[in-house]
Chains A and B, each alone.
Chain A
Amino acid sequence: MPSTELESARFTSIDWATESGGWRSVRLRTAGLVAALLVVAALFTYDYVVAPRELFEFLDWDVTRIDWLFLVSTVLFVRYAVVPLAANRDRAASYAAEFARRPAGVLSLGYILAFGVLGVVGPEWFGLARVDFGTKLQPPVFATFDAADVWPYTCVGNSVGDVCHGTWQYPLGTTRVGEDMVKLIVYAIRIGLQLALSAAMIMVVVATAVGTAAGYFGGWVDDVLMRYVDVQQTIPAVVVYIVLATMYLGQGLFALALIFGLLDWGGIARLVRSEAMQRRTDGFVRAARSAGASDFHVVRKHVIPNSTATIVTALTRQIPLLILAQVALAYLKLNNVAYRSLGEVLLRGLSGNPVPWHQKWWIAGFITLFLVLTVVSFNVFGDVVRDVLDPQSEVA
């Protein structure tokens, strides 16, 4: 039997009076987070106080409100998603292996990584789509366009009579003002990423705080918070956006991210709450409490980490909805972005000017395809993430 050779009667004894946690144990990643946030805050102060009207010249970048929000969100994303994965290689590797076993997971992950990369650097790489009537209504590569009713019309590729053939110069075709569809979609990805990350970070922070507080503490805290969520969920974020954006905030991406982020987290909070309620009775939470852990320790070390699968899955449901909402609002001319939103392009693509929409099908078609791919990828990604991250499946 293993337990018979106990040499000394007591275990390693520790003089608790001399053990104090204190500041020295603040971890590097916490310090990094604080530093990064301070840098953003300093830049913000500089931009708004010292040089409100100027660009960051070295970047040729006029930082707008949505950019600031995006920056802060990126910092948080790096700290709470990228750093933990990078720090825990084994775990990251085992997640990767789990992903690799699921073809749908690999495809959706690939799409989302591409989405992320293009969102950050795409518009700078590809440039913005320019209006050029000389290249209007070019068909996509391998497709044709009968330009009989359009005048004047220039075909960039080969034309046979009135029929224009597409070229690799504009693989997805152009709009009726000659904008390259590829560049439009790349820019749409930028918009989507800014909106998704910003709104998602607001939602995650609020939903996690509210959900864990309600689920973990229960009682009147739960009652108050959940009744508030009930009330909030009866008010559609879209309506609030239309009212506030038209009256105060301006119909930009910032208003959209802020309002949806602050109003659309109710569902996630509910999921987190039920997760937290389960955790509260789990053995490891009870063990930690019996070892003297504070509520803060338990929530931070056990409740929130074990809710990640739920939170990430819920977010992957929410993000495509946000992107769709933005396109829809832009279609209704209720949302303007710095350059051009797919909503506007779609609106013009569906109009009968100068030819009916089905003759320039690629405009509406590729936009729809892009939106469908995005929605499906996020949903599939969410499902796979739930399977991969789910702590319950690891227990089994």
Chain B
Amino acid sequence: MTDESEADAILSVRNLEKHYPVRSGLLRRVTGHVKAVDGVSFDVHEGETVGLVGESGCGKSTTATSLLRLEEPTGGEVYFEGEDITEYGSDDEQAFRRRAQMVFQDPNSAFDPRMTVGESVAEPLGIHGLRDGDRQRRIVEDLLERVGLSADDADQYPHEFSGGQKQRIALARALILNPDLLVADEPVSALDVSVQAEILSLLDDLQSELGLSMLLISHDLGVVRQVCDRVGVMYLGELVEMAPTEELFANPQHPYTEALLASIPDPDPRNRGDAVELTGDVPDPSDPPSGCSFHPRCPRVVPPADYDFPEDSFREVLDFRLSVENGDVDGDEFASPADVRDEFDLPPELPDGDADAVISAAIEDVLAGDTGAAADRLGDAFETVCEREAPELVETDAGHPAACHLHGAASEHAPPELSASDDD
């Protein structure tokens, strides 16, 4: 990220961190941290829409709330038009609140059921000191009409509106202070597809009319593709890839992005079952895996350089190793080495003789009931760089950054950031 890009960015997030302390015991001592957001950096330029995607628990919503300081970040800086908002005092913060607004996911809880829609939409005006009822009313009516409702709707109560209409009202409320930056957290995921389409079009129209910059948080890659100029993919609190939208969809550089893209059900019945299936669940964020946090699920985990594995076959070997290490393998359940290989989808014989010898020996250990020895043997032989080192977000051949060891030359040996540029 060059200085130049920072200069015209309306929002620059640098190494943002939000760690929640985990307390336990009688005295509520801090015994660990959930790293909900762990060193995220990106820019949003004026008039641009940036998307953050990821599965639940990846920290995308926490990124949004901490960069707006709705929750105090525990580290990093956030520059809004060049000023570090984490340093703001209360007056500056109040001014910042007028310029950066947020829209939330659930339109049904977005409104105080005891207030009319007009009162709810006007609330931010009152907070910032405009308390003249008539002026409030004029602004609210104008805005309601702009988001596709009628001025009379101001006197209705929220429960009289459908989900899509409520989301329009929520947009009106977010826009009433005339913000420059809009952060939308899953703005359409609670809505039906046909309604989603309406809200997305409305967002698009409003954005181009108003020159808004937007940060859109979503788990739905379809939505992100529809409205975003650039997309960042998050996994377990970290940004693993960031690219212009079409580039990301056409040429994903991180295996997680690839898997995520492949998991979207394709609305074409002729394209069935070609998904890269990810095994397992998202790990516990209070105890993330070492190295690259995606390595326990990664289908393209980097094999150790000492052995020669055919493409993508190291995954099974690593799965076998991890099961043995976790003590999930019980030798009594298997009759022969072939059974073990069967259970873990290992081929009858690996092409690399040395590797196969290690596997065979480990299987023998398992069958003999000595899982400890098997674990040591496998651990010594098949240690991958992915579990040793956390990859940095580096520029890839595709021209956009990704955080993956596949994108460093001799990835197993050299620190990836040194070799990022000379990769063929």
Contacts and interface: CB of A to CB of B under 8 A. Distances in A.
CB–CB under 8 A between A and B in the complex?
Answer: yes
Contacts of B68: 290
A394 B127 contact: no
Contacts of A1: 148, 198, 201
A20 B205 CA distance: 33
Contact of A6 (B106, B110, B146): B146
A21 B132 CA distance: 9
Nearest to B145: A2
B109 interface: yes
Nearest to B174: A287
B123 A291 contact: yes
A396 B128 CA distance: 31
Contacts of B231: none
Interface in A377-396: 391-392, 394-396
Contacts of B109: 282-284, 395
Interface string B157-201: 111000000000010011111100000000000000000001001
Given A2-B148, A3-B147, A291-B97, A286 B201 contact: no
A284 B111 contact: yes
B290 interface: no
A302 interface: yes
A166 to B, nearest CB: 51
B124 to A, nearest CB: 4
A306 interface: yes
Nearest to B107: A283
B206 A3 contact: yes
A302 B110 CA distance: 12
B131 A14 contact: no
B201 A16 contact: no
Interface in A272-293: 282-284, 286-293
A16 B129 contact: yes
Given A10-B178, A19-B128, A394-B113, A290 B147 contact: no
B323 interface: no
B305 interface: no
A15 to B, nearest CB: 10
Given A16-B129, A288-B123, A394 B139 contact: no
A11 B142 contact: yes
Given A3-B146, A286-B70, A306-B112, A291 B101 contact: yes
Contacts of A287: 102, 104, 110, 170, 173-174
Contact of A286 (B95, B102, B124, B130): B102
Interface string A298-334: 0001100110000000000000000000000000000
A290 B175 contact: no
Contacts of A358: none
Interface residues of A, number: 38
A188 B106 CA distance: 51
A13 B135 CA distance: 11
A353 interface: no
A30 interface: no
Given A9-B210, A287-B173, A288-B123, A306 B114 contact: yes
Contacts of A292: 93-94, 97-98, 124, 127-128
Given A11-B210, A290-B97, A395-B113, 18 more contacts: A1-B201, A2-B149, A3-B146, A3-B148, A6-B146, A11-B175, A12-B139, A16-B128, A19-B130, A282-B109, A288-B124, A288-B127, A290-B68, A291-B124, A391-B112, A391-B114, A394-B157, A395-B159
19 contacts: A3-B202, A3-B205, A4-B205, A9-B210, A11-B176, A12-B139, A284-B111, A286-B70, A287-B104, A290-B70, A290-B97, A291-B123, A292-B97, A292-B124, A292-B127, A293-B123, A293-B124, A391-B112, A395-B158
Closest 3 CB pairs of A and B: A2-B148, A292-B97, A283-B110
Interface of A: 1-4, 6, 9-14, 16, 19-21, 25, 282-284, 286-294, 297, 301-302, 305-306, 391-392, 394-396
Interface of B: 68, 70, 93-95, 97-98, 101-102, 104-114, 120, 123-125, 127-131, 138-139, 142-143, 146-149, 157-159, 170, 173-178, 198, 201-202, 205-206, 209-211
